[in-house]
């Protein structure tokens, strides 16, 4: 139990601290890319990815620092990309909003809401053809379920019985617009359940709980051939894009934040580790390692060269 | 081996050959396996390759295009078919936001071997929503290849190359060309993309034409040749990336150029051609580059206005006469639209 918690803690802390470093340094104006932070939401991505095997494919959105770090465990290439350096996987072309690492099964992201959902169908179709038993997961926000392409994709995945996991990471907001102002229905689960699809929902901020639900969904999917839809709620601690808090803006209250903060996913797992007998030293050591890794990743990224001008026209075509 | 094939059978042969050769190739799209088989171009596929590799879809153009992209980056080679290019517009989000830039944004690590076939152009009173071409819209976006075959030989050869290409290719097939037959000489390896082809040699004027406009240009050339005017007809075949070498060479040599693009002229591929020819043949041109294209209106249905909407061989002849300072020929004895008079509906 504590081994699993240690791993979950490490991943979440890596993501949290990486994004806090972005917050600390953003004003230096060297990371010239809009950032959509997932601070507060880490349990969803970490929980879901914990349940997937490394061969399963994942697709994300512009808010996917978490997927990148959880899948690659490589803050060096992460910061190189954020700083736009040629040492990064995409040599600076991707920035924060188009992160991917196909070598790690992280096939892609997109800054246009909903657009990566059908790609998971394509990956799942290939899996089905190859009978390789892999699952393809699309992780998207609650705004994406407003888009037609979500419903088109859900419909087809259910029809063709594709091994797809639809993961709605519901922070209750599309930019500043709450679900109540966007939905002509009350419960997304009630609707998706009418499709030939497994549905699970949770408000938990415990990645272990979300991982178990995901595992369960995958095994049901394997048994029945039907895709699964996971609706996981969470809370975004900072503004939609950028690094600051924005509780003064009027669209949400600090009180709602304080409520969720009591269940902060990282603190929750940390507490459980300590209560379960893991020494504080052990947990602190993880923190220190992450600290060192991130600082060295940032230092390296800042020293790395920018791509040469000759890179501009490369790779449009294979 | 040289054989005579229709354009539709040439397309079909290319698909069968590539599906035989590579199990990763599959064909899908609305109505692909129904009894009409996309005007016959997908006939025999489901029988030969099964439902796994040839199947229909719900009316979900965006999701199906995204699925094709997901399959392509996973190592499959989808051919996604649209019975009209107008329906592909519902997938423009995927095409322009995702498919076209996925490789570039991946730092060149991903390949997107995806063919999107779409039928374009005039049929039989198709009206404003079943007749577009849109090549310049697709070609405008970096990362998409755009192919427009005219002859059955090119239909087969270029489709083979499109399927083998590791990039997204939009393959635009004119409805009227489906019934045109011609010699097919291309071998198993197909015909390379981005190689402009000279369909007819001539020394007095150059017509650069796309898709069906090549048929009109050849007809114009045949008539003008009887008057002693030799027109060169140049078919780019691949709109993007464009091989402009032979176009520039021809225009510099003849000094007169008509660009006959099968589309609206305004902001179109014809404007791109005209600009390039002006830039690269400046000083050798003896008349300004002329453009021939659709009237800048939505396509009307009634035949009399539809015929005004589309340019044809007569339009090209008149433009060339003007450029060369010739007086207007009497065309009353000529038979035009021979193909059109054979085309019957309903689709
Ligand atoms: C198709 C589209 N419409 C609008 C936008 C502008 N936009 C960017 S993020 C966003 C909100 C999306 O909310 P959600 O899917 O819940 O994701 P979250 O940001 O909460 O993670 C919007 C509307 C966009 N990027 N794409
Ligand atoms: Mg949201």
User: Is the same domain home to B150 and B22?
Assistant: yes
Band (B123; pLDDT cuts 50, 70, 90) = confident
Query: CA nearest B209: which of B140, B298, B281, B273?
Result: B273
User: Is the same domain home to B211 and B166?
Assistant: no
User: Is the same domain home to B17 and B104?
Assistant: yes
User: Is the same domain home to B311 and B255?
Assistant: yes
CB A53 within 8 A of CB A72: no
> Is a pLDDT exceeding 80 seen at residue B193?
yes
Residue of A145, A169, A174 with the most ligand 1 atoms within 8 Å of its CB, for mutation: A174
- Mark yes or no for CB contact B69/A100 under 8 Å: no
Q: Rounded distance, CA A227 to CA A221, Å?
A: 6
Band (B7; pLDDT cuts 50, 70, 90) = very high
Indicate the average pLDDT of chain A: 97
- Mark yes or no for CB contact B98/A91 under 8 Å: no
CA distance B276 to chain A (A): 20
Query: Atom 9 (ligand 1): residue with closest C-alpha?
Result: A175
Secondary structure (DSSP) of A18-49: HHHHHHHHGGGS---S--B--TT-HHHHHHHH
Chain B interface with A: residues with Cβ < 8 Å: 52, 57-58, 60, 62-76, 78, 93-94, 97-98, 102-112, 142-143, 145, 165-167, 241
Contacts of B87 in chain A (CB under 8 A): none
* Predicted confidence (pLDDT) per residue in B203-221, tens digit: 999 999 999 999 999 999 9
Domain boundary, last residue among B184, B209, B244: B184
* Predicted confidence (pLDDT) per residue in A252-282, tens digit: 999 999 999 999 999 999 999 999 999 999 9
Any domain includes B341: no
> Is a pLDDT exceeding 90 seen at residue B98?
yes
Residue of A175, A181, A239, A242 with the most ligand 1 atoms within 8 Å of its CB, for mutation: A175
User: Is the same domain home to B132 and B8?
Assistant: yes
Any domain includes B311: yes
Band (B334; pLDDT cuts 50, 70, 90) = confident
CA atoms within 13 A on the CB side of A12: 29
- Which numbered ligand comes closest to the C-alpha of A38? 1
Atom of ligand 1 nearest to the CA of A145: 15
Query: Residue B82 pairs with which residues in a beta bridge?
Result: B118
Contacts of A110 in chain B (CB under 8 A): 97-98
- Mark yes or no for CB contact A317/B109 under 8 Å: no
User: Is the same domain home to B111 and B161?
Assistant: yes
Query: CA nearest B165: which of B150, B180, B145?
Result: B145
Band (A2; pLDDT cuts 50, 70, 90) = confident
Any domain includes B260: yes
Query: Atom 4 (ligand 1): residue with closest C-alpha?
Result: A113
- A242 DSSP assignment: B
User: Is the same domain home to B153 and B214?
Assistant: no
E strand or H helix at A189: helix A188-192
CA distance B109 to chain A (A): 8
Any domain includes B297: yes
* Predicted confidence (pLDDT) per residue in A75-128, tens digit: 999 999 999 999 999 999 999 999 999 999 999 999 999 999 999 999 999 999
User: What percent of chain B lies above the pLDDT cut of 90?
Assistant: 90
The answer to whether B130 is a known catalytic residue is yes
Q: Rounded distance, CA B118 to CA A4, Å?
A: 51
How do strand B231-235 and strand B197-200 relate by DSSP bridges? antiparallel
pLDDT of residue B2: 78
Structural domains in chain A, sorted by start: 2-303 (3.40.50.970)
**Residue B212 maps to which CATH number?**
3.40.50.920
Query: CA nearest A46: which of A233, A265, A218, A243?
Result: A265
- Mark yes or no for CB contact A118/B109 under 8 Å: no
> Is a pLDDT exceeding 60 seen at residue B338?
no
Any domain includes B192: no
Q: Provide residues with CB under 6 Å of ligand 1.
A: A 63, 111-113, 141-144, 171, 173-175, 240
Residue in chain B nearest A311 by alpha carbon: B107
How many C-beta neighbours within 10 Å does residue A33 have?
16
- Mark yes or no for CB contact B105/A98 under 8 Å: yes
- Mark yes or no for CB contact A119/B72 under 8 Å: no
Query: CA nearest B92: which of B38, B170, B167, B30?
Result: B170
- Mark yes or no for CB contact A112/B75 under 8 Å: no
- ipTM of the assembly? 0.97
Atom of ligand 1 nearest to the CA of A141: 15
Mapping DSSP onto H, E and C, the string for B256-293 reads: CEEEEEEEECCCCHHHHHHHHHHHHHCCCCCCCCEEEE
Query: CA nearest A106: which of A169, A39, A54?
Result: A54
> Is a pLDDT exceeding 70 seen at residue B339?
no
Q: Rounded distance, CA B29 to CA B38, Å?
A: 10
- Mark yes or no for CB contact A122/B74 under 8 Å: yes
Q: Rounded distance, CA A282 to CA A138, Å?
A: 34
pLDDT average, residue stretch B230-248: 98
> Is a pLDDT exceeding 90 seen at residue B23?
yes
- For chain A, the residue count is 318
Domain boundary, last residue among B161, B184, B207: B184
User: Is the same domain home to B312 and B247?
Assistant: yes
* Predicted confidence (pLDDT) per residue in A159-216, tens digit: 999 999 999 999 999 999 999 999 999 999 999 999 999 999 999 999 999 999 999 9
Lowest mean pLDDT among A38-52, B46-60, B300-314: B300-314
**Residue B56 maps to which CATH number?**
3.40.50.970
The whole-angstrom distance between residue B113's C-alpha and the CA centroid of its chain comes to 19
Q: Rounded distance, CA A87 to CA A79, Å?
A: 10
Band (B345; pLDDT cuts 50, 70, 90) = low
Percent helix, strand, coil in chain B, to 5, is: 40, 20, 40
User: Is the same domain home to B73 and B172?
Assistant: yes
> Is a pLDDT exceeding 90 seen at residue B188?
yes
pLDDT of residue B126: 87
Residue of A45, A59, A99, A113 with the most ligand 1 atoms within 8 Å of its CB, for mutation: A113
The whole-angstrom distance between residue B149's C-alpha and the CA centroid of its chain comes to 5
Is the pTM higher than 0.90?
Answer: yes
pLDDT of residue B125: 84
Contacts of A159 in chain B (CB under 8 A): 58
> Is a pLDDT exceeding 90 seen at residue B336?
no
Band (A1; pLDDT cuts 50, 70, 90) = low
Instruction: Tell me the residue range of the domain where B76 lies.
Output: 3-184
Q: Rounded distance, CA B178 to CA B63, Å?
A: 28
Q: Where are the alpha helices (DSSP H) in chain B?
A: 7-21, 45-49, 61-72, 85-88, 92, 102-105, 135-139, 152-164, 212-226, 245-254, 269-281, 303-309, 313-324, 338-342
Chain A interface with B: residues with Cβ < 8 Å: 57, 59, 88-91, 93-94, 98, 100, 102-103, 107-108, 110, 112, 115-127, 129, 136, 148-149, 152-153, 155-156, 159, 314-318
CB B45 within 8 A of CB B11: no
> Is a pLDDT exceeding 90 seen at residue B244?
yes
Any domain includes B123: yes
Which among A89, A115, A317 has the least Cβ separation from residue B93? A115
User: Is the same domain home to B168 and B219?
Assistant: no
* Sign of the four-CA dihedral A22, A26, A30, A32: positive
The answer to whether B61 is a known catalytic residue is yes
- For chain B, the residue count is 347
Contacts of B106 in chain A (CB under 8 A): 90, 94, 100, 102, 108, 315
Any domain includes B329: no
Residue of A125, A130, A144, A312 best to disrupt the B interface, most CBs of B under 10 A: A125
> Is a pLDDT exceeding 60 seen at residue A150?
yes
Query: CA nearest B131: which of B79, B172, B179?
Result: B172
- Mark yes or no for CB contact B145/A317 under 8 Å: yes
* Ligand 1 geometric centre to CA of A140 (Å): 10
User: Is the same domain home to B165 and B203?
Assistant: no
Any domain includes B342: no
CA distance B145 to chain A (A): 9
Is residue B332 packed enough to be buried (19+ CB in 10 Å), middle (13-18) or exposed (0-12)?
exposed
* Predicted confidence (pLDDT) per residue in A66-84, tens digit: 999 999 999 999 999 999 9
Torsion angle of the four alpha carbons B60, B62, B67, B72, in this order, in degrees rounded to the nearest 10: 140
Q: How many structural domains is chain B composed of?
A: 2
Selected catalytic residue, list B80, B130, B174, B256: B130
User: Is the same domain home to B315 and B236?
Assistant: yes
> Is a pLDDT exceeding 90 seen at residue A6?
yes
């Amino acid at each position: 139990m504590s081994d699993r918690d240690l791993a979950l803690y490490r991943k979440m802390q890596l993501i949290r601290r990486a994004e806090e470093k972005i917050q600390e340094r953003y004003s230096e104006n060297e990371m010239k890319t809009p950032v959509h932070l997932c601070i507060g939401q880490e349990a969803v991505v970490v929980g879901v990815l914990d349940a997937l095997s490394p061969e399963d494919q994942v697709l994300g959105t512009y808010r996917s620092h978490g997927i990148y770090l959880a899948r690659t465990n490589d803050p060096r290439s992460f910061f190189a990309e954020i700083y736009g350096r040629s040492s990064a996987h995409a040599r600076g072309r991707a920035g924060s909003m188009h992160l991917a690492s196909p070598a790690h099964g992280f096939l892609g992201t997109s800054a246009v809401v909903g657009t990566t959902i059908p790609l998971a169908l394509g990956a799942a179709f290939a899996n089905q053809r190859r009978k390789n038993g892999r699952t393809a997961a699309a992780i998207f926000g609650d705004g994406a379920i407003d888009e037609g392409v979500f419903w088109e994709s859900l419909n087809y995945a259910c029809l063709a019985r594709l091994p797809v996991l639809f993961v709605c990471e519901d922070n209750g907001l599309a930019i500043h617009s709450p679900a109540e102002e966007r939905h002509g229905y009350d419960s997304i689960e009630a609707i998706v359940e009418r499709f030939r699809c497994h549905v699970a929902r949770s408000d938990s901020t415990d990645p272990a709980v979300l991982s178990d639900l995901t595992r369960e969904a995958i095994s049901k999917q394997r048994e029945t051939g039907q895709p699964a839809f996971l609706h996981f709620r969470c809370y975004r601690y900072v503004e939609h894009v950028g690094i600051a808090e924005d509780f003064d803006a009027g669209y949400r209250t600090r009180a709602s934040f304080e409520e969720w903060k009591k269940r902060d996913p990282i603190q929750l797992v940390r507490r459980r580790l300590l209560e379960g007998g893991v020494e504080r030293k052990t947990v602190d050591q993880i923190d220190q390692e992450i600290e060192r890794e991130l600082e060295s990743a940032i230092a390296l990224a800042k020293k790395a060269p920018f791509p040469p001008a000759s890179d501009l026209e490369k790779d449009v075509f294979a | 081996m040289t054989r005579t094939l229709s354009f539709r059978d040439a397309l079909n042969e290319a698909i069968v050959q590539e599906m035989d050769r590579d199990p990763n190739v599959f064909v899908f799209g609305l109505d692909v396996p129904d009894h009409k088989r996309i005007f016959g171009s997908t006939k025999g596929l489901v029988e030969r390759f099964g439902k796994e590799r040839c199947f229909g879809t719900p009316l979900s153009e965006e999701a199906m295009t995204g699925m094709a992209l997901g399959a392509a980056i996973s190592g499959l080679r989808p051919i996604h078919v649209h019975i009209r290019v107008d329906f592909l517009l519902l997938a423009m989000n995927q095409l322009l936001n995702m498919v076209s830039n996925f490789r570039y944004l991946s730092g060149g690590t991903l390949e997107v071997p995806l063919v999107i076939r779409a039928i374009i152009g005039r049929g039989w009173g198709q009206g404003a929503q079943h007749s577009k071409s849109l090549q310049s819209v697709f070609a405008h976006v970096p990362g998409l290849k755009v192919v427009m075959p005219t002859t059955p030989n090119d239909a087969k050869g270029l489709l083979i190359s499109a399927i083998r290409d590791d990039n997204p290719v939009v393959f635009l097939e004119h409805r009227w060309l489906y019934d045109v037959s011609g010699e097919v000489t291309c071998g198993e390896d197909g015909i390379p993309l981005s190689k402009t082809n000279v369909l007819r040699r001539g020394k007095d004027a150059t017509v650069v034409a796309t898709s069906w406009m090549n048929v009109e240009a050849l007809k114009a050339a045949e008539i003008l040749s009887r008057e002693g005017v030799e027109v060169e007809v140049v078919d780019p075949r691949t709109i993007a990336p464009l091989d402009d070498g032979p176009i520039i060479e021809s225009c510099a040599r003849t000094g007169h150029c008509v660009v006959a693009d099968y589309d609206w002229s305004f902001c179109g591929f014809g404007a791109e051609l005209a600009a390039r020819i002006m830039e690269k043949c400046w000083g050798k041109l003896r008349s300004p580059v002329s453009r021939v294209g659709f009237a800048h209106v939505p396509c009307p249905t009634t035949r009399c206005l539809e015929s005004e909407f589309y340019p044809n061989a007569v339009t090209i002849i008149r433009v060339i006469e003007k450029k060369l300072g010739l007086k207007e020929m009497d065309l009353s004895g000529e038979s035009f639209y021979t193909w059109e008079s054979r085309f019957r509906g309903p689709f």
